[in-house]
Structure 1
Amino acid sequence: MVKIFLDPGHGGSDPGATGNGLKEKDLNLKIALKVRDILNNEYEGHDIRMSRNSDITKSLSARTDEANAWGANYYLSIHINAGGGTGFESFIYNGNYPGKQETDRLRNIIHDTIMQHVDFQDRGKKEANFHVLRETAMPASLTENGFIDHSNDAQKLKSDAFLNKIARGHAVGLAEALGLQKKEKKTEQPNGEIYYRVITGSFKEKENADKRVQELKNAGFDSFIDIFKG
């Protein structure tokens, strides 16, 4: 079981960065909750804890102490940037420590996956001496998802649909980096029974699809052709 610790930055009396009618603490929490829900609904083989799941004040040391005591396998801290720039960037601890190469490898997967889901400018993969990166006993990264004081970034951050894209990038990135498995899709019939559908192939030529269907029917399996566009 892979233990993932999600850390929505700031909270409570600490609003984080503010701008354009937005508070960082609120956006961090929204994104983190969406990441949690995507992972729990669509993947398996993991357990998730969060440093906070509501608007509470929590110290940096309390966050890292909880993750360390739990024995988390990965720590992800979610933030929104400020300071006049624009775009997305991610960080790992800038010191020399065992496992830094693996920490960087995992961060690279998460960073690249997020960039595939959002249209932020890529500000790069960076290193810093942040507490949550330095004091965690497991691989850890911190993401900065746009600039709250940049009008274009803020406009995107006001869209729940865009926050969904950010969250999905984080969730899929974590799943790929940590080797989580997708849950099997279940098809529930009107009578309440659940069936598992098996796809046996995709073909560009209909005659090949017809041949496969006939082979399956000859073997005693009910089968049909479902047409879709790639």
Structure 2
Amino acid sequence: MKLYLDPGHGGTDPGASGYGLKEKDVVLDIAFRIRDILTGDYKNVSIRMSRTNDSNQTLRQRTDEANAWGADYYLSIHCNAFNGAADGYEDFIHNSLSVNSQTLMYQDILHEEITKVNQLRNRGQKKANFHVLRETAMPSFLSENGFIDHPGDASLMKQNTWKQRVAEGHVNGLARAFNLKRRGNDTGSGNLYKVIAGSFKSKENADDRVSFLGSKGIDAFVDNVNISGVRWYRVQAGAFTNREHTENHLRTVKNTGVDAYIIQ
């Protein structure tokens, strides 16, 4: 299965914002987690992301790239905003599709799996004429994972455990929809092993580490953590539920000269 994974917005387009959060950051974090689970735990999955950093990419560039690559599915990750009072989760397919379409069947499955775990009010399955739903040559799906300007939803978005659950919900839906097979030696422990490629007090130094790893073909992102009241910028370069896969990826990261380690 070829998945085009599209974290919305980016660069000079932050998307929605609220309570110190920007949509572009939240959705990129969730997308990385989706990618890491799929590539670490499932067979025969190829993923291309519209962006792997805080960069600009037009809607046309995103859909053109997905179409040229021949993706089997287009998954666009977003957060919502309205008036500070609206809350909950909803997802979209294009409004031209019939009740018998395969895209709707996929939406049914993803919606069920995501709403099982995301702790958000279920606003239902919807249709819209969004560019990424209209201009894609393959089935496409856009999820709106809470309202960033709602205090309850925003408090969840600040939690790494919540973002991991949301990612797992998306993955569970994709696995069901496309009958994905798990890799061998899956421990089934439910643990998540993260490859950490450095912790810094300077955001600039952490960003430099992300850029360096990117130049070596390794996707990474900066995660803010507080340890004993001190903010650290921790570079995460992968997350897996399988320990063996994590250790294999750790060796790849270390081969770049970076002193990396695993946390659970």
Range into which the TM-score falls when normalised by the shorter chain: 0.7 to 0.9
| Conservation of the 8 A alpha-carbon contact between 2:95 and 2:128 | yes
Deviation at 1:56, TM superposition (A): 0.1
Q: Which residue of 2 aligns with 1:142?
A: 142
The residue type equivalent to 2:26 in the other structure is L
Query: CA-to-partner distance for each residue in 1:164-217, whole Å, 9 max, x for gaps?
Result: 000110111111111110111268xxxxxx9xxxxxxxxxxxxxxxxxxxxxxx
Q: Which residue of 2 aligns with 1:88?
A: 89
The residue type equivalent to 1:75 in the other structure is Y
The residue type equivalent to 2:180 in the other structure is L
Query: CA-to-partner distance for each residue in 1:16-57, whole Å, 9 max, x for gaps?
Result: 001110000000100000000000111111111000011100
Please say which structure displays the higher CA radius of gyration.
1
The residue type equivalent to 1:93 in the other structure is H
- Within-5 A mapping of 1:98-117: 101-117=101-117
Alpha-carbon distance in 1 for matches of 2:176, 2:46:
15
| Secondary structure at 1:12 match in 2 | coil
| Conservation of the 8 A alpha-carbon contact between 2:41 and 2:186 | no
Q: Which residue of 2 aligns with 1:7?
A: 6
| Conservation of the 8 A alpha-carbon contact between 2:92 and 2:143 | yes
Instruction: Note the residue ranges of structure 2 that are not aligned, 5 or more in a row.
Output: 188-243, 245-264
The residue type equivalent to 2:45 in the other structure is H
| Secondary structure at 2:46 match in 1 | strand
Moved beyond 3 Å, runs of 4+: none
Alpha-carbon distance in 2 for matches of 1:26, 1:71:
27
| Secondary structure at 1:171 match in 2 | helix
Alpha-carbon distance in 1 for matches of 2:172, 2:56:
28
Alpha-carbon distance in 2 for matches of 1:133, 1:186:
34
Alpha-carbon distance in 2 for matches of 1:11, 1:34:
17
Query: CA-to-partner distance for each residue in 1:68-90, whole Å, 9 max, x for gaps?
Result: 00000000000000003111000
Alpha-carbon distance in 1 for matches of 2:120, 2:138:
28
Q: Which residue of 1 aligns with 2:48?
A: 49
Alpha-carbon distance in 1 for matches of 2:37, 2:172:
9
Does residue 166 (structure 1) correspond to residue 166 (structure 2)? The answer is yes
Higher RCO structure (Cα 8 Å, ≥6 apart):
1
The residue type equivalent to 2:123 in the other structure is R
| Conservation of the 8 A alpha-carbon contact between 2:97 and 2:104 | no
Alpha-carbon distance in 2 for matches of 1:186, 1:76:
25
Q: Which residue of 2 aligns with 1:36?
A: 35
The residue type equivalent to 2:90 in the other structure is E
Greater strand content: 2
Deviation at 1:118, TM superposition (A): 1.5
TM-score of the pair, normalised by structure 1: 0.78
The residue type equivalent to 2:91 in the other structure is S
**Percent identity (aligned):** 52
| Conservation of the 8 A alpha-carbon contact between 2:43 and 2:181 | yes
Q: Which residue of 2 aligns with 1:62?
A: 61
- Within-5 A mapping of 1:79-228: 79-84=78-83, 85-96=86-97, 101-185=101-185
Q: Which residue of 1 aligns with 2:75?
A: 76
The residue type equivalent to 1:49 in the other structure is R
Alpha-carbon distance in 2 for matches of 1:181, 1:123:
30
Alpha-carbon distance in 1 for matches of 2:154, 2:186:
38
Q: Which residue of 2 aligns with 1:22?
A: 21
Alpha-carbon distance in 2 for matches of 1:96, 1:46:
26
Alpha-carbon distance in 2 for matches of 1:186, 1:28:
27
Query: CA-to-partner distance for each residue in 1:116-161, whole Å, 9 max, x for gaps?
Result: 1121110000000000000000000000000000000000000011
Distance 1:154 1:95, change over 3 A: same
Alpha-carbon distance in 1 for matches of 2:158, 2:15:
16
